[in-house]
Structure 1
Amino acid sequence: MKIGDLARATGVSPRLLRYYEEQGLFAAQRAPSGHRRYGPETVEAVGRVRALLAAGLPTSVIRDLMACFTEGTDLDACAAQHLREHLEGVEARITQLETTRSTLAALLTATASRPQVAA
């Protein structure tokens, strides 16, 4: 199928599909005219990419995980370490955001009790 057909089948813009291909997330065959041609398996590959992007994974990690898919969007155990590392990073960011929230709330409480000074 052509890139436009793949875009319609996946709901992903042709520009984004070209980006995914440039990142090595899947490959296209080239017609003699130079146009990209995709097999039906690429629709599933795009679904996998989108699922991993929704989980917040960068394309560099997704490229490594593409070999870990067994069927559909099911991942094999080879993905566990990448996913664990990403989850630890997310948890660290959540902790930092909670600290930031507490600090901002304390600052707001402290300033709410003070009179406003004209500038």
Structure 2
Amino acid sequence: MAEGTFVTAINCMDGRVQEPVIKWMKSKYEVDYVDMITEAGPNKYLLDGNEDQVNSLKSKVDISYSKHGSKVLAMVGHHDCAGNPVNKEEKAAQIKQAIKKINTWGFDMEVLGLYVNENWEVETLD
């Protein structure tokens, strides 16, 4: 097991969203580190990707879960995403669908949805 405490985020590769998500998750869950799994438009990637692409994400989550002891996973979407250029409402729906898919993977983790808005602030999705 790794030193320190961890949570996990499946996030966009866009550098603008890394720091807000890391800061929010570290503060909210009082952890040392955020394992960041990135793709361009991760919601679309998870929902529309082929089996190999989805399994790649799942194996990275497994490393965070089994090797780092992460018990929280955030599925993140954001404003002005080049990899998945849809409006906030559609992005929120995709995040919720992605959470349902992640919950079938069998990890004992809290899975939540986050949206980074046009001001680079993190919003939770219910």
TM-score range, shorter chain: under 0.3
Query: Relative contact order: is structure 1 or structure 2 higher (C-alpha 8 Å, sep ≥ 6)?
Result: 2
Question: What TM-score does the superposition give when structure 1 sets the normalisation length?
Answer: 0.24
Question: Where is the strand percentage greater, Structure 1 or Structure 2?
Answer: 2
Which is greater in Rg? 1
Question: Where is the helix percentage greater, Structure 1 or Structure 2?
Answer: 1
